[in-house]
Amino acid sequence: MEEAKYSWGDEGLQWAARLDVTTDELVMQVTIPNKSYLAIGFGEDMRGTDMIIWRWKDDVVEVDNLFSTGYTTPESDGTDFLTTTIEDSKDRQHKIFTTRRALDTGSKDDFVVPLDKPIVMCYAYRTGSGDFIEHQEHDIFSVMFSSSGIASKGSLDLS
């Protein structure tokens, strides 16, 4: 199936997503260098937003489901439904996370991903530390998952 793919920064951060129509799950592949994190949110900003973070700092590798109430460090929402595998890139300079998430997790704080409709998402990342601390790098993007299994960059005007 086709995936939507985004790249940010000069350090090789990537987020790609596709829909697994057999399981009704998003399959996200995230690539990040050491001492960095990438977080995505199912919404246009950090207010009342379901988020996922992927983080790598030396021996610490983490994926967590978060809920952000505002412009502060989001807390884990306490759910454990993300399924993730982690591997090294061929040059061992990046970790590649493959995370699966149900379209509808059943959790009250989690975004229900619609099909055949573009959705606005946000992202934030930080490199050079790996600590989950304030970032300067952030923006919004849009993506759409079709019921036929195609994921594409959304058509929403985000200017």
DSSP 77: -
The answer to whether residue 156 sits within a structural domain is no
DSSP 73: P
The answer to whether residue 123 sits within a structural domain is yes
The answer to whether residue 159 sits within a structural domain is no
The answer to whether residue 81 sits within a structural domain is yes
Dig out the tokens for 8 from the structure: 């940010």
The answer to whether residue 70 sits within a structural domain is yes
Q: DSSP letter string over 102-154?
A: ES----TTSPPPPSSS-EEEEEEEEESS-SS---SEEEEEEEEE-TTS-EEE-
CATH number reported for the structural domain that contains residue 145 in this entry: 2.60.40.1210
Q: Given this model, what pLDDT does residue 45 score?
A: 84
Structural domains counted in the chain: 1
**121-130 burial by CB neighbour count: b if 16+ within 10 A, else e?**
bbbbbbbeeb
Domain residue limits at 40:
4-149
Cβ of 25: how many Cβ atoms within 10 Å? 17
Say whether pTM exceeds 0.85: yes
In 3D space, the residue among 36, 27, 58 whose CA is nearest the CA of residue 123 turns out to be: 36
Q: Given this model, what pLDDT does residue 72 score?
A: 67
The answer to whether residue 19 sits within a structural domain is yes
Q: Could you read off the pLDDT tens digit of each residue along the chain, which spans 159 residues?
A: 689 999 998 999 999 999 999 999 999 999 999 999 999 999 988 788 899 999 999 999 999 998 888 776 777 777 778 999 999 999 999 999 999 999 999 988 899 999 999 999 999 999 988 777 676 788 899 999 999 999 998 776 554
Pairing outcome for strands 60-68 and 49-57: antiparallel
Distance of alpha carbon 41 from alpha carbon 48, whole angstroms? 10
Burial of residue 60 (CB within 10 Å: 0-12, 13-18, 19+) is: exposed
The answer to whether residue 18 sits within a structural domain is yes
Q: Given this model, what pLDDT does residue 70 score?
A: 74
The answer to whether residue 117 sits within a structural domain is yes
